Amino acid sequence: MSLLRILGRPMLASMFVAGGLSSLRSPHAVAPVAEPVVRPVADRVSVLPDRTEQLVRLNGAVQVAGGVLLGLGRCPRLSALALAATLVPTTLAAHRFWEAGESSDRAQQRIHFLKNLSMLGGLLITADDTGGAPSLLWRSRHAAQGLRHDAHVVRRSVRATAGPAAAVGGARAKLGL
C-alpha cells in the first residue's frame, strides 16, 4: 500500500467519524435541520425508520462504521461508497445555501456545500481505487480472454487431428481391424 493511501484514508475518514459520533450522541440537535430531506426519503423507502432522530442516528452509525473501516484500510471501497451514500442527504439537509437569507450565511453555507461536494469526489475516487491490484472487472475480462484463447487452441488442434484420425479410422474399418 502506498504512503498516500496510508495517510489519505484516515484523513478523509476523520470528518465522518467526528460527525457520525456527534449525530449518534445528540440526534435531536440535527433532526430539525434534517427533517426536509428525511421526510421525503422515509416516505419512499419503507424499510427506513419513521422518526427523524432514528434516521439521524442510523446515518451517524454508518458514518462512524464507514469512517473507522476506511481509516483502517479495511474494505476501503465499500466503506467509501457507504460514506458517499450518507454524505448526499447530509449535505442536502445541512447546507441549503439557496435557502439562506443573509449573504454572509449564504456564502458560509455555499462553502460547506462545496466542501462536502469535494469530499464526495474524494470518496468516489477512493471507491474506484483498487490499491494497485487489478479490479474484478479487469480480472474477469482477462479470464474470459484466456478462455477464448484456450478454446481457439482446442478447436485448432481438433481440426488438425480430426482429418488424420478419420483417415486412420476409415482404413481400419476397411481392413476389418
Cβ atoms 79, 69 nearer than 8 A: yes
Range of the domain at 54: 3-128
- Please check whether residues 17 and 96 belong to one and the same domain: yes
Whole-number average pLDDT of the chain: 89
Residue 93 banded pLDDT, cuts 50, 70, 90 = confident
- Please check whether residues 93 and 147 belong to one and the same domain: no
> What's the mean pLDDT in 156-162?
85
Examine the pLDDT at 131 and tell me if it is beyond 80: no
Higher pLDDT, 163 or 144: 144
8-state DSSP, 102:
S
> What's the mean pLDDT in 1-26?
91
Examine the pLDDT at 127 and tell me if it is beyond 80: yes
- Please check whether residues 151 and 121 belong to one and the same domain: no
Both ends of the chain: CA-CA distance in Å?
67
- Please check whether residues 174 and 99 belong to one and the same domain: no
- Please check whether residues 106 and 156 belong to one and the same domain: no
Question: What percentage of the chain exceeds 70 in pLDDT?
Answer: 99
Residue 159 banded pLDDT, cuts 50, 70, 90 = confident
- Please check whether residues 64 and 145 belong to one and the same domain: no
Residue 69 banded pLDDT, cuts 50, 70, 90 = very high
Residue 106 banded pLDDT, cuts 50, 70, 90 = confident
Among 91, 113, 128, give the residue marking a domain's end.
128
- Please check whether residues 73 and 102 belong to one and the same domain: yes
- Please check whether residues 103 and 119 belong to one and the same domain: yes
Number of domains in the chain: 2
- Please check whether residues 75 and 26 belong to one and the same domain: yes
If 0-12 CB within 10 Å is exposed, 13-18 middle and 19+ buried, where does residue 10 land?
Answer: middle
8-state DSSP, 100:
-
- Please check whether residues 33 and 71 belong to one and the same domain: yes
The model carries a pTM of 0.71
> What's the mean pLDDT in 118-146?
87
